[in-house]
């Protein structure tokens, strides 16, 4: 008999993030009447902005991370989630949930701080995370001493798209590029989960073998010293 099918929460970080984005969008639309996202899930611009980032307000620093949960409209939300739900589970399986959560946090902070320091317009949305996953997925296929042409072609298409087609309000081209750069760095610097587990297992095996060698050496009987004194006694007796 076939086993009963059941739902699996296969990618905790990706699914939780996507559900939070949907919840924030619906709560802002239906309950708070488009006032929640501008207040909690948007990073203000630099000091030349009409609503600049308040560096003296501790609450403002939270928005450097939460801005990835807010979206301008349904098209913005669905466009980002289509990439995140497509690539997120694959990357989460490859690198592990904890590492993907760290990548998401770092990318959100980097894009937020860049916008608060240099960009006059406000920033919201997970576009930077989507492009981080796109570049991460492309680099994860790179083998040793080989750089796939598809990686450079993807970067070219990505950059051209950002400069040829202007972004919507609140969607920063610089944030997209910063997210892609973060994904590139993660792809080159972070080893996949399988490589890390193999490295840990090999180190554990090496430690176990060294311990066995030390135990065997300590357990082996010591070589008996030559009986120098007894030989000298025998020689003395014969001479007498």
Q: Which CA distances in Å does 120 have to 32, 170, 171?
A: 26, 10, 12
Q: Could you say which DSSP state residue 31 is in?
A: T
Residue listed under structure tokens 């990439």: 83
Question: What b-and-e string marks burial along 70-96, b requiring 16 or more CB atoms within 10 Å of the CB?
Answer: bbbeeebbebbbebbeebbbebbbbbb
**What are the tens digits of pLDDT across the range 85-108?**
999 999 999 999 999 999 999 999
d(CA 124, CA 126): 7
Q: Which comes out higher in pLDDT, residue 214 or 60?
A: 60
Rounded CA Rg of the chain: 30
168-186 pLDDT, tens digit per residue, is: 444 567 777 888 889 889 9
User: Would you say residue 188 has pLDDT above 70?
Assistant: yes
Pick the closest to residue 81 from 132, 19, 168 (CA basis).
19
Query: Residue written as tokens 């009447």?
Result: 33
Q: What is the pTM of this model?
A: 0.75
> With 70 as the cut, is the pLDDT of residue 4 above it?
yes
Contacts of 63 (CB under 8 A, 6+ apart): 40, 41, 42, 43, 44, 112
Residue 75, pLDDT above cutoff 50: yes
Q: Given the structure tokens 């989460």, which residue do they identify? A: 92
Percent of the chain scored above 90 by pLDDT?
Answer: 43
User: Closest by alpha carbon to 124, among 46, 70, 77, 178?
Assistant: 70
- Residue 233 confidence (pLDDT): 45
Summarised one tens digit per residue, pLDDT across range 197-211 is 555 555 556 566 666
* DSSP reduced 3-state for 162: helix
Cβ distance 16 to 36 under 8 Å? Answer: no
* The two three-digit tokens of residue 181, written as one number: 């750069």
User: What's the mean per-residue pLDDT of the chain?
Assistant: 80
Does the pLDDT at position 227 exceed 70? Answer: no
Whole-number percent of the chain with pLDDT over 70: 70
pLDDT surpassing 50 at residue 234: no
Domains and CATH numbers, the chain: 12-194 (1.20.1540.10)
């Amino acid at each position: 008999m076939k086993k009963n099918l059941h739902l699996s929460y296969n990618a905790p970080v990706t699914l939780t993030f996507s559900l939070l984005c949907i919840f924030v969008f619906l709560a802002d639309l239906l309950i708070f009447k488009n006032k929640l996202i501008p207040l909690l899930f948007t990073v203000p611009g630099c000091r030349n902005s009409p609503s600049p980032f308040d560096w003296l307000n501790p609450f403002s620093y939270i928005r450097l991370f939460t801005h990835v949960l807010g979206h301008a409209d349904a098209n913005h939300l669905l466009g980002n989630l289509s990439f995140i739900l497509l690539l997120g589970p694959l990357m989460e399986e490859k690198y592990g949930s904890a590492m993907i959560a760290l990548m998401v946090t770092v990318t959100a902070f980097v894009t937020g701080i860049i916008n608060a320091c240099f960009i006059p317009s406000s920033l919201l949305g997970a576009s930077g995370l989507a492009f981080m996953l796109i570049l991460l997925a492309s680099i994860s296929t790179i083998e040793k001493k080989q750089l796939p042409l598809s990686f450079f072609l993807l970067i070219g298409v990505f950059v051209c798209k950002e400069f040829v087609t202007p972004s919507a309000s609140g969607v920063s081209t610089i944030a997209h590029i910063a997210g892609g750069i973060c994904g590139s760095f993660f792809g080159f610097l972070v080893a996949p989960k399988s490589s890390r587990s193999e490295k840990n297992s090999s180190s554990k095996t090496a430690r176990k073998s060294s311990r066995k060698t030390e135990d065997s050496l300590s357990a082996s009987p010591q070589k008996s010293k030559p009986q120098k004194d007894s030989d000298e006694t025998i020689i003395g007796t014969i001479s007498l």
